[in-house]
Structure 1
Amino acid sequence: MATAIYIAHGLPYLAMLLSSLRGLRTHNPDIDVVVAARIPKPVLPDHIWGPRDRWICVPDDHDMPDHQIAKRMKMDLPDLTLSERSFFLDCDTLVHRPLAPFLRQLDHFDVLLRPHIDPELRSNATAPTGTSYKVGELPHWNSGVIFFRKSEASAELFKLWGEYFDALGLGLDQPSLAGAVAKSAARVGPLPRVANAFTGDLKLRDVRESCYVHHYTSNIDADLCKALEAEMNSLASMNGWSVDDTSRSFFQNRIAGRLARGKSLSGHGFWRRLAARMVKQPK
């Protein structure tokens, strides 16, 4: 048995969580789920929550914004799992296949991560990466999908990650993860693109046809945005919550922020229809 772990802070992230859970439950019905959130467990749609699942209510930390709390909690994943083998998924993911092949790879590795093509260059700090290299000179890894097994080595990697994150003070988790992987004795294996596929990767036929996890990040087209907003409104209705202006505009603002950073959207024509098929509308 394995455990899937999510960290969700705020109503929009809960909506993305439910969207991800639908695919996870369809293709991995025997997986236990742990969710760490800032609120007690809400009313959820039928068939989403299993009898062995665990909802962890995270205490407030007024010294740290929500997005930084979510990043910092990734470094405590070994304390959240229910199993010897586990995986973490960012909420902005969609699961399309059984994930057993990557759990089996943990026979040979402590941690599995997707290599990040572009290192984080917003800091050239030489310390505390634990190496003689600058942050931008180290190999980088995406932290949106992480497979790991319980071991002293993996526990050391996550501990180093947290120490470097706190010391760097960047609010970004990839520079500190780069230092932790470089310094740790953990055996880190590379995840293929199909295990953590960005929307742009789906232009490649082999990735599109064999995608296990679609990590859409802020690459949200009109159909995906509509589906996530419907998920959010449905969840709010079930729990008697009001949807404030910040939550209501969250996905549109996320798209606008992506475009403002000079990035494009990959949701035109065929890609838009593909994204629509990837997300199930809430019942």
Structure 2
Amino acid sequence: MRFRPCIDIHNGKVKQIVGGSLMDVGNQAKENFISDKDGGYYAGLYKDHGLKGGHIILLNPAGSEYYEEDVRQAELALKAYPGGLQIGGGINAENAPRFLKMGATHVIVTSYVFKDGRIQYENLEALKEAVGKEHLVLDLSCRKKDGRYYVVTDRWQKFTDVVLNLEVLDELSEYCDEFLIHAVDVEGKASGIEQELVKLLGTWNRIPITYAGGVRSEEDLSLLKKLGKGQIDVTIGSALDLFGGTMKFENVLSYCDSII
């Protein structure tokens, strides 16, 4: 289990938010932490610690007045750590190559692929053609409804008809290099991991999976490692001391044995 760091950008600032609170209208979100440091600072820190495979997420939609400032923050991060970070948020087949040229190793995509509530295979093929399977991460962030986990899109505001199960993981793994999966119902709440989801993911191991959501302690990391059978990577946001939380960055690195 490796630690995958994150840089979440909203309204031009590095932030940590409660995932389910994000709204396009008014660019609003319930904020846990707003940093006075820019994206380049965090990327440099991750580079200094030898961490790879972390993700930058642009939380404003492309039409937002803040989107270009989000992109500027992302550029600072990618210049500080070229070849060390992935990026997601408003990615499509047309703009994906731009972010790889900035220095991202992968683009992370949800809404472009899961449009109108279902998998858009034409868009998925277009992405694969534009950047290659080896540079594509599919974000299968999900919320629970009627006892099942459904992929959610549009900054986690809309449910799709796609149930996250082993068959879907098998199918979509043919198109991408990794999966990123936020447990949206606990994201940003430091309330404990989504155990049922982690158990599901722990039974599947064809390509790397990074889990995010609810981690608040080393006990949660131990549980994640156990339920995920040691093969699921983890990212931590609001609970980390870098973002105002109580979990020490260095202790998390030591526990996860994350340096590649």
TM-score for the superposition, normalised by structure 1: 0.32
TM-score for the superposition, normalised by structure 2: 0.33
Larger radius of gyration: 1
